[in-house]
C-alpha cells in the first residue's frame, strides 16, 4: 500500500491528457503549491512511551511484535481520507502512534487492553487502515502515549459451518483473503466495498461497512451473526441465533462502535454459495428523477438486482461510474444493474422489464462490465488528481426516499457555497425498500492550504446533511470527522447512552479517544 | 378480552370429545383441583398510592384517565402466559397495579415518567397486555406504588409516506386496527403473530415480536425504521435513514427493551403493498429431519415462501397446526407454505419443486387453508384445556441450523425430565439463512399446584436452552420469566452494559422494575 496514497504503487495511474485538460479548463486546477514529502521526510513526534511501557507491551506480544520504526509509524498514521493523504503529502505525521503492537490472540488483545488501561495508553485498533473519516487518529491529550493495535496477525479462517452457512473468522483477515479462503469451499461473503483490496473483516464490522453488492448480499452488519469483543472490562460473546427476542440486539451496539468500545477478536459471518452466474449491464435514463424512480421501483417491488447503481447527470457525463474510462461518459443518467447467483437470466429479464417500462434505454453489458472492471479504481484515480493539484473527496449520506431530493440539493448547495465552482457528482448505490444512500464525489482546485479548504467545506456539508434530515454517514462511519454532526443526529440523550456504554466497557477511556463518542 | 383467559369470551370453545378422551387416556388429565375464581373474587392488594399521588397523576392526564377500579386493576394484572392465567383463575391478583393511567400524548408520557421518577412510583408500560414471559409484573419492593401506563389512547395512524413506503403510528394501535387503517391505502404491515388480535404496535417493538409471515415480511424489528422513546431522562428520536453507519444502531437498543428503558411513543414502520394474491398449501415429509432439510433449503437457496412452518411428528399427529381441527392430524411432518404478493404461481411452483425434490408429498391447499383459518385459535384452545385440568404452555428458542437438533433434543429432554410424560410438540416457524426458531407446545396434567409445577419445568427448560447454545427467546421476549437465563446468555459484561444504559435513561429505576435487565 502506498504510504501516502491508495493501493499498490505499481498500479498508480497517469491522468489521461483529456482529463488534465478538463481539470485545467473546466475547474482551473493548477499544479500543487508545495511538492510532496517523501516517506523519510515525514515529521513524527518523538516516541512518548517509556522504555518500561514498551517492555511491558513486549511482555504481552513478544518484542518482535512491538514496532517503533519510522516507516511503521508513518504507515499507521491516520487513514485514507483526502485530508489524511494531503497531510502526509505535506510531511505532517503528527498523529502517528508511538508504537505499533501486533497481538496474536484474543487473550493477548485482552491483556494489552488491561495493560494500557492501567498505564493510560491510548489504543487505536487498526485493521486495513482505510478509514476515510478520521477513525484512526487518537486524541493524545491526557495519555502516556498512543499505540496502534494492528490486527494483522489474527488472519485466519477458523471454521466453516456449511449447514448453517456461516464462517468463523479472525478480525484481521483482509477481504480478498476472506474471499479466497471461502472460494475453496465454494462460498462467498459478497462484500465488495471500494476499500475491498485492503480493508479487514474486523474493520468492516467496526465501521458498519456496506459493499457495492449490498442490494443482493446485504450490508456487512447483515452478515455478522456472532462476534467476540475484547474490552478493558472483560469479553462480550454475542450471537446464539440469527435473530432473537432476548432483549436489545447487543451485536448492533458493537457494530459501528469503531474501536471505541473494544476490539473485535472473532466474527461469525453469514456466507453464500459463490454465484454460478453473473451478468452486469448498463441502462440510460433521461434524468436523475426518472432513474431514481426506476431504482426505487426495483428496491420496493423487485426483482432487486445484486448491484444497483445510478449516476446523476454530472457523474454520467464525466464517466466516473467507469473510472478506467474516465471522460468517456454520455448524456442522461447511467444505471448499472448486476445480477448474480441463480436464475440470472430470468431476474435480469424481469428487472429489465421494470427499467424499460420506467423509461430506461438498455445499453447492454458493456457499461456493466466496464463498471465492474473499474469498481476499485477510483481511489487510484484520486492519487493522480491530488498530484495534479485537484482536491478530490467523497462523502455520503442516506435517507428515506421522499427525503432524497432535499438531501441531494442540500449537499450540492453546501459544496457549491463552500468551494465556488467545484465539480460535484453523485450516485445512488445502496438501496432499501424505504430509502437509499447518496454518494457524492467532489473535485476542486487545491488552494495554498487544501486541508483547511476541504475541512471548511466538509463542515458545511455536515451541517447541511443534519439540517436536511439525513444520516451523517451511510457507510463511511463517524470517526473524528463526523463526530459533531453525529452528536446532533442522535441528540444529547443518544450521546449520553453511548458515553454510559463506553464508561462501562472502557472505564479508563483508552479506546480510540476522540473517535465516535460525542463529548459531554 | 377474557379477564383470565384469551380473547373474546364469545369465541370460547368447547373441547371435542375426542380431545377430552385423548387428554384422559393418553395423559391422565383430570378436572382441576380447585374451581376457577370469578373476576369479582380476585384478591387485590390495597391501593398503595396516596391520594396525593393519584391527584398528581390526574394532573397530568386528567382525572378520567386515572383508574383504580377493581376490574380495571384485574385486567392490567400480569399478561397471558399460562402461569399468569392459572394465578388469576386461582384468584391471585397480587401483582395488580395500584392504578391504570392512560396518557394522551408523548408529552403526557414524558410528564408521567418525570412525576413517577420523583415520587418513586414504578411504571409498567402496557399495550395489549399479551406478554407471555412475565413482562407486565413489576417488582414492587422499594416503590411507593405501581402504575400500569396503558397506551390505549395513543391509537392513531399519523402519516403515510407512500413514496418511502413507511407509515407513522402511535404505539397503542392494535394490530388489526393497524391493518385496517393501512388497508385503506392498499398497504399492509404483514405482521401476524398469534397475539395479533390484541397486541399493539408499541408492544411488538418493545418485545421484538415476530409474526407467522416473518419469512416473507420480516420480523417486527425489521419493520421499524424510526422510533421515539420517552424516558425519565429525556427523549430519544431515532431513524433518519433505513440503514446507517453513524455508530451503533441505537434503534436496536430500544427494540427489545421491554419498557425497561422508556416508553415508545411513536413508530415509523416499513409497509408493503397489500398482497394481490395468496396461496397456502400443505406438504407432508416422512420425518422431522427430512422436513427440516427442506425448510433449510428454501431459507438458504429460495424461493422463500411468505409463511413457512414445519410441525414435528407429534404436532402433526395431534393436528396442532390446524387448531380448528385438533385431533385430525396424520403421519410424518406437516409443512405449511404460504405465498403472498406478486408472481405467486411462479414462486409456488419453484418452491414446490424444491420441496418435492427433497422428499415432500404435496397435500394441496386444504391443510394450508386450515392452518390459515386457525392461525390465531391456539390461545382459545388453551383456555379450554386449562379448564379441563391440563396445563398447556408454549416456549420457544432459536439457533443456527447445525445446532437445531441439539436444541430440539435438549428442550424435549428437559420437559420430559421435569414433567414425567407430557405431550411435547414442536414446529419451526421462523426461518433465516443461518438458522431458525423452534416453538414447543407442552401439555401435561395439572397437579394440585400447577403454577409451581410449571415453574419448575420452565426453569429446567431455560437451563437446557442456555446449555445447548440457543437463545432464551426467539420472539416471546425476556420479561421476568427469562431474566436469569438471559443474564447467562449475554454474560456479566452484557448485563453490565444493559444496567449502564438503564441507569442513564431511568436513573430512579422506575421503569418495569424486575423485567429484562439482570440484577447486579
- As beta bridge partners, residue A440 has A395, A426
Mean of pLDDT values over A280-286: 96
A402 interaction partners in chain B (CB closer than 8 Å): 161, 163-164
Mean of pLDDT values over B471-482: 98
Question: What does the pLDDT read at residue B318?
Answer: 87
CA–CA dist B396, B414 (Å, integer):
13
Predicted confidence (pLDDT) per residue in B338-379, tens digit: 999 988 999 999 999 999 999 999 999 999 999 988 888 888
Q: For testing the chain B interface, which of A229, A244, A467 should be mutated: the one with the most B CBs within 10 Å? A: A244
B491 interaction partners in chain A (CB closer than 8 Å): 234-237
A492 interaction partners in chain B (CB closer than 8 Å): 234
Cβ separation B252–A252 shorter than 8 A: yes
User: Smallest Cβ distance to B400: which of A161, A400, A471?
Assistant: A161
CA distance A223 to chain B (A): 10
Asked if B211 contacts B191 with a C-beta cutoff of 8 angstroms, the reply is yes
User: Smallest Cβ distance to A432: which of B243, B476, B494?
Assistant: B243
Q: For testing the chain A interface, which of B434, B471, B496, B498 should be mutated: the one with the most A CBs within 10 Å? A: B434
Residue A326: all three cell numbers together: 474516465
Cβ separation B164–A400 shorter than 8 A: yes
Residue of chain B whose Cα is closest to the Cα of A163: B402
With a cut of 70, say whether residue A52 has pLDDT above it.
Answer: yes
Residue A56: CB atoms within 10 A of its CB come to 19
Question: What does the pLDDT read at residue A138?
Answer: 86
Mean of pLDDT values over A366-395: 91
CA distance B250 to chain A (A): 7
Mean pLDDT of chain A: 96
User: Smallest Cβ distance to A516: which of B209, B247, B397?
Assistant: B247
Mean of pLDDT values over B250-279: 97
CA–CA dist A249, B252 (Å, integer):
6
Predicted confidence (pLDDT) per residue in A145-173, tens digit: 999 999 999 999 999 999 999 999 999 99
Residue A498: all three cell numbers together: 453511548
Cβ separation A225–B165 shorter than 8 A: no
What's the half-sphere exposure (Cβ side, CA atoms, 13 Å) at B316? 22
With a cut of 70, say whether residue A324 has pLDDT above it.
Answer: no
Q: Which DSSP category does B184 fall into? A: T
Question: What does the pLDDT read at residue B191?
Answer: 98
With a cut of 90, say whether residue A360 has pLDDT above it.
Answer: yes
CA–CA dist B37, B67 (Å, integer):
23
With a cut of 80, say whether residue A450 has pLDDT above it.
Answer: yes
Question: What does the pLDDT read at residue B253?
Answer: 98
Residue of chain A whose Cα is closest to the Cα of B231: A493
Question: What does the pLDDT read at residue B328?
Answer: 67
ipTM entry:
0.97
Question: What does the pLDDT read at residue A145?
Answer: 98
Where residue B323 falls among pLDDT bands split at 50, 70, 90?
low
Mean of pLDDT values over B74-101: 97
- As beta bridge partners, residue A272 has A188
Mean pLDDT of chain B: 96
For chain A, how far is it from start to end, CA to CA, in angstroms?
Answer: 37
Mean of pLDDT values over B458-472: 98
User: Smallest Cβ distance to A245: which of B244, B248, B473?
Assistant: B473
Angle, helices B404-419 vs B288-301, to 10°: value is 140
CA–CA dist A311, A477 (Å, integer):
22
Q: Using the structure block, give the residue that is written with the C-alpha cell 431504482.
A: A295
Question: What does the pLDDT read at residue A378?
Answer: 87
With a cut of 70, say whether residue B416 has pLDDT above it.
Answer: yes
Within A172-312, residue ranges assigned H as helices are: 175-183, 201-206, 214-217, 220-223, 251-254, 288-301
3-state secondary structure of B125: strand
Secondary structure element (H or E) that encloses residue B30, with its range:
none
Cβ separation B434–A475 shorter than 8 A: no
What's the half-sphere exposure (Cβ side, CA atoms, 13 Å) at B323? 19
With a cut of 90, say whether residue A318 has pLDDT above it.
Answer: no
Residue of chain A whose Cα is closest to the Cα of B209: A245
With a cut of 90, say whether residue A412 has pLDDT above it.
Answer: yes
Distances in whole angstroms, Cα of residue B41 to Cα of each of B70, B73, B88:
10, 13, 10
CA–CA dist B68, B150 (Å, integer):
13
Torsion angle, CA of B335/B339/B345/B351, rounded to 10 degrees? Answer: -40
Residue of chain B whose Cα is closest to the Cα of A474: B244
Asked if B337 contacts B297 with a C-beta cutoff of 8 angstroms, the reply is no
Least confidently predicted of A12-26, A36-50, B504-518? A12-26
CA distance A247 to chain B (A): 4
With a cut of 70, say whether residue B326 has pLDDT above it.
Answer: no
CA distance A431 to chain B (A): 9
Mean of pLDDT values over B295-324: 91
CA distance B126 to chain A (A): 17
Cβ separation B242–A164 shorter than 8 A: no
CA–CA dist B175, A250 (Å, integer):
27
Q: Quick one: which of A502, A497, A473 has its CA closest to A131?
A: A473
CA distance B383 to chain A (A): 25
Phi and psi at residue A116, in whole multiples of 5°? Answer: -70, -30
A473 interaction partners in chain B (CB closer than 8 Å): 244-246
Residue of chain A whose Cα is closest to the Cα of B481: A246
CA distance B323 to chain A (A): 25
A472 interaction partners in chain B (CB closer than 8 Å): 244, 246
Where residue A5 falls among pLDDT bands split at 50, 70, 90?
very high
How would you class B331 by CB atoms within 10 Å of its CB: exposed for 0-12, middle for 13-18, buried for 19 or more? exposed
Q: Using the structure block, give the residue that is written with the C-alpha cell 387503517.
A: B181
User: Smallest Cβ distance to A500: which of B161, B402, B501?
Assistant: B501
Residue of chain A whose Cα is closest to the Cα of B292: A163
Q: Quick one: which of A259, A23, A214, A195 has its CA closest to B244?
A: A214
CA–CA dist A384, A397 (Å, integer):
26
Asked if A255 contacts A267 with a C-beta cutoff of 8 angstroms, the reply is no
CA–CA dist A55, A61 (Å, integer):
10
Q: Which DSSP category does A362 fall into? A: E
CA distance B162 to chain A (A): 9
Residue of chain A whose Cα is closest to the Cα of B342: A301
Cβ separation A236–B163 shorter than 8 A: no
Phi and psi at residue A104, in whole multiples of 5°? Answer: -110, 5
Q: For testing the chain B interface, which of A163, A215, A216, A247 should be mutated: the one with the most B CBs within 10 Å? A: A247
Question: What does the pLDDT read at residue A45?
Answer: 97
CA distance A170 to chain B (A): 19
Q: Quick one: which of B100, B20, B117 has its CA closest to B61?
A: B100
CA distance B326 to chain A (A): 29
Mean of pLDDT values over B19-27: 88
Residue B33: all three cell numbers together: 383441583
Question: What does the pLDDT read at residue B391?
Answer: 95
Cβ separation A233–B258 shorter than 8 A: no
CA distance B403 to chain A (A): 8
Asked if B473 contacts B464 with a C-beta cutoff of 8 angstroms, the reply is no
CA–CA dist A397, A462 (Å, integer):
10
B246 interaction partners in chain A (CB closer than 8 Å): 256, 471-473, 477-478, 482, 486, 489-490
User: Smallest Cβ distance to B493: which of A234, A272, A482?
Assistant: A234
Q: Quick one: which of B248, B435, B406, B292 has its CA closest to A239?
A: B435
Question: What does the pLDDT read at residue A328?
Answer: 67
Where residue B327 falls among pLDDT bands split at 50, 70, 90?
low
Q: Which residues contact A94 (CB under 8 A, 6 or more apart)?
A: A43, A44, A45
Where residue B16 falls among pLDDT bands split at 50, 70, 90?
confident
3-state secondary structure of B20: helix
Q: Which residues contact A385 (CB under 8 A, 6 or more apart)?
A: A15, A23, A391, A392, A443
Predicted confidence (pLDDT) per residue in A205-238, tens digit: 999 999 999 999 999 999 999 999 999 999 999 9
- As beta bridge partners, residue A159 has A168
Distances in whole angstroms, Cα of residue B143 to Cα of each of A169, B49, B98, B138, B459:
48, 10, 11, 10, 28
With a cut of 90, say whether residue B434 has pLDDT above it.
Answer: yes
Cβ separation B247–A474 shorter than 8 A: no
Cβ separation B496–A482 shorter than 8 A: no
Q: Is the peptide bond before B99 cis (omega within 30 degrees of 0)?
A: no
Residue of chain A whose Cα is closest to the Cα of B502: A497
Secondary structure element (H or E) that encloses residue A505, with its range:
helix A483-505
Cβ separation B434–A248 shorter than 8 A: no
A493 interaction partners in chain B (CB closer than 8 Å): 231, 233-236, 505
A499 interaction partners in chain B (CB closer than 8 Å): 504
Q: Using the structure block, give the residue that is written with the C-alpha cell 438503564.
A: B502
Asked if B315 contacts B321 with a C-beta cutoff of 8 angstroms, the reply is yes
Strands A166-169 and A157-161: antiparallel
Cβ separation A504–B500 shorter than 8 A: yes
User: Smallest Cβ distance to B245: which of A342, A476, A504?
Assistant: A476
Least confidently predicted of A70-79, A335-344, A374-383, B67-76? A374-383
Secondary structure element (H or E) that encloses residue A284, with its range:
strand A277-285
CA distance A482 to chain B (A): 8
Q: Which DSSP category does B441 fall into? A: E
Cβ separation B233–A496 shorter than 8 A: yes
What's the half-sphere exposure (Cβ side, CA atoms, 13 Å) at B484? 8
A490 interaction partners in chain B (CB closer than 8 Å): 236, 238, 246-247, 250
Question: What does the pLDDT read at residue B14?
Answer: 83
Where residue A18 falls among pLDDT bands split at 50, 70, 90?
confident
Asked if A217 contacts A210 with a C-beta cutoff of 8 angstroms, the reply is no
Asked if A19 contacts A393 with a C-beta cutoff of 8 angstroms, the reply is no
Q: Compute CA B384 distance to the chain's CA centroid, rounded to the nearest angstrom.
A: 20
With a cut of 90, say whether residue B19 has pLDDT above it.
Answer: no
Distances in whole angstroms, Cα of residue B286 to Cα of each of B293, B356, B425, B431:
12, 12, 16, 20
Asked if A206 contacts A127 with a C-beta cutoff of 8 angstroms, the reply is yes
Question: What does the pLDDT read at residue B135?
Answer: 98
Cβ separation A247–B270 shorter than 8 A: no
Residue A184: CB atoms within 10 A of its CB come to 9
Q: Which residues contact A169 (CB under 8 A, 6 or more apart)?
A: A156, A157, A158, A178, A201, A266, A267, A268, A269
Amino acid at each position: 500500500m502506498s504510504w501516502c496514497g491508495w493501493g499498490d504503487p505499481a498500479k498508480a495511474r497517469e491522468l489521461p491528457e483529456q482529463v488534465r485538460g478538463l481539470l485545467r479548463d473546466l475547474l482551473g486546477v493548477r499544479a500543487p503549491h508545495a511538492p510532496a514529502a517523501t516517506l523519510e521526510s515525514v515529521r513524527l513526534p518523538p516516541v512518548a512511551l517509556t522504555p518500561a511501557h514498551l517492555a511491558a507491551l513486549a511482555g504481552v506480544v513478544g518484542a518482535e511484535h512491538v514496532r517503533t520504526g519510522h516507516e511503521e509509524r508513518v504507515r499507521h498514521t491516520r487513514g485514507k481520507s483526502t485530508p489524511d493523504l494531503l497531510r502526509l503529502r505535506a510531511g505532517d505525521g503528527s498523529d502517528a502512534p508511538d508504537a505499533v503492537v501486533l497481538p496474536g490472540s484474543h487473550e493477548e488483545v485482552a491483556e494489552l487492553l488491561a495493560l494500557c488501561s492501567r498505564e493510560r495508553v491510548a489504543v487505536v485498533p487498526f485493521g486495513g487502515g482505510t478509514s476515510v473519516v478520521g477513525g484512526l487518529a487518537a486524541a493524545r491529550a491526557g495519555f502516556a502515549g498512543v499505540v496502534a493495535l494492528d490486527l494483522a496477525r489474527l488472519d485466519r479462517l477458523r471454521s466453516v459451518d456449511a449447514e448453517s452457512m456461516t464462517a468463523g473468522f479472525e478480525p484481521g483477515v483482509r477481504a480478498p483473503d476472506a474471499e479466497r479462503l471461502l472460494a475453496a469451499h465454494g462460498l462467498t461473503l459478497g462484500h465488495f466495498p471500494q476499500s475491498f483490496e485492503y480493508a479487514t473483516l474486523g474493520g468492516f464490522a467496526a465501521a458498519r461497512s456496506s459493499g457495492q453488492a449490498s442490494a443482493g448480499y446485504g450490508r456487512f452488519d447483515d452478515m455478522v451473526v456472532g462476534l467476540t469483543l475484547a474490552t478493558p472490562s472483560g469479553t462480550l460473546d454475542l450471537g446464539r441465533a440469527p435473530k432473537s427476542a432476548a432483549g436489545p440486539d447487543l451485536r448492533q451496539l458493537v457494530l459501528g462502535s469503531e474501536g471505541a468500545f473494544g476490539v473485535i477478536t472473532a466474527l461469525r459471518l453469514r456466507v453464500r454459495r459463490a454465484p454460478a452466474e453473473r451478468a452486469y449491464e448498463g441502462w440510460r435514463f433521461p434524468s436523475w428523477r426518472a432513474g431514481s424512480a426506476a431504482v426505487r421501483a426495483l428496491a420496493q417491488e423487485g426483482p432487486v438486482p445484486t448491484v444497483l447503481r445510478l449516476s446523476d447527470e454530472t457523474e454520467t457525463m464525466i464517466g466516473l461510474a467507469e473510472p478506467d474510462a474516465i471522460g468517456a461518459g454520455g448524456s442522461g443518467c447511467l444505471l448499472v444493474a448486476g445480477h448474480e447467483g441463480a436464475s440470472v437470466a430470468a431476474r435480469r429479464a424481469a428487472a429489465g422489464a421494470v427499467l424499460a417500462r420506467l423509461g430506461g434505454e438498455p445499453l447492454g453489458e458493456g457499461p456493466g462490465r466496464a463498471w465492474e472492471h473499474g469498481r476499485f479504481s477510483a481511489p487510484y484515480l484520486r492519487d493522480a488528481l491530488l498530484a495534479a493539484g485537484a482536491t478530490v473527496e467523497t462523502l455520503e449520506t442516506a435517507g428515506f426516499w421522499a427525503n432524497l431530493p432535499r438531501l441531494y440539493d442540500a449537499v450540492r448547495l453546501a459544496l457549491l457555497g463552500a468551494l465556488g465552482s467545484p465539480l460535484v457528482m453523485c450516485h445512488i448505490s445502496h438501496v432499501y425498500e424505504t430509502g437509499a444512500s447518496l454518494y457524492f464525489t467532489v473535485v476542486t482546485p487545491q488552494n495554498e492550504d487544501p486541508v483547511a479548504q476541504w475541512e471548511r467545506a466538509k463542515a458545511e456539508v455536515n451541517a447541511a446533511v443534519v439540517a436536511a434530515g439525513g444520516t451523517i454517514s451511510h457507510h463511511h462511519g463517524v470517526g473524528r470527522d463526523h463526530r459533531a454532526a453525529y452528536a446532533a443526529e442522535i441528540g444529547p440523550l443518544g450521546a449520553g447512552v453511548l458515553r454510559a456504554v463506553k464508561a462501562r466497557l472502557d472505564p479508563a477511556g483508552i479506546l480510540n479517544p476522540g473517535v465516535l463518542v460525542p463529548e459531554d
